[in-house]
Amino acid sequence: MSVQERKQRERAERERLIVATARELAEQQGWDAVTTRRLAERIEYSQPVLYSHFRGKREIIGAVALEGAAEMATAVRAAASGADGPRERVAALARAYLDFAERNPAVYDAMFQLDGGLAFAQEDTPEPLKDAFAALLETLGEVAGDGVHPGLFTEVFWASLHGLATLTRAGRQPREDTDRRTELLVDRLAVL
């Protein structure tokens, strides 16, 4: 291995450590607790080292969001592929999405609530975000209904899931009714 390859590998490892540490700190104490000073202390590197990887907290949030999008895409694909029939696939996708949001609140916030400097639904949208949407579209497109654009239907269904996730987490909806809400969404919105 050349010196250049070793340096690139070490740089990538440091970057993964920064992102993992930011994510861990955010999940434990919230995003307000994530500062470059705290991150530098936790990973035992100087703040200038952090700034050599990320220009600031916004880019770190973006990196966590991209990692989360990849994980969410994997989760919803796995759930949908393990179900038989369109209704079961849509229900499995919805449960997987809501479970991901509940298990990873700081990551979910990085993806959809905080400014990570990422473009959504544009030409320059990063690939992990495009793939997360594609993971939803793969299942939801088949139940959009005649004359309904599959992408538009996916956006509306996704918005509904996002609303359920955020309202439940904020205590605006009782958590114990999540399954009933999910079933209602699947039965009334999807053309099965």
Mind listing the pLDDT tens digit for each residue in 112-138? 999 999 999 999 999 999 999 999 999
Residue 84 DSSP code: -
Examine the pLDDT at 192 and tell me if it is beyond 80.
Answer: no
- Our CA angle for 64, 78, 186, nearest 5°, is 95
**Which tokens belong to 8?**
């690139």
Does the pLDDT value for residue 157 go beyond 80?
A: yes
Residue in this structure with the two tokens 């990873």, named with its chain if needed: 104
Report pTM: 0.94
Rounded Cα–Cα distance for residues 109 and 188 (Å): 27
Whole-number Å distance between alpha carbons of 28 and 34: 10
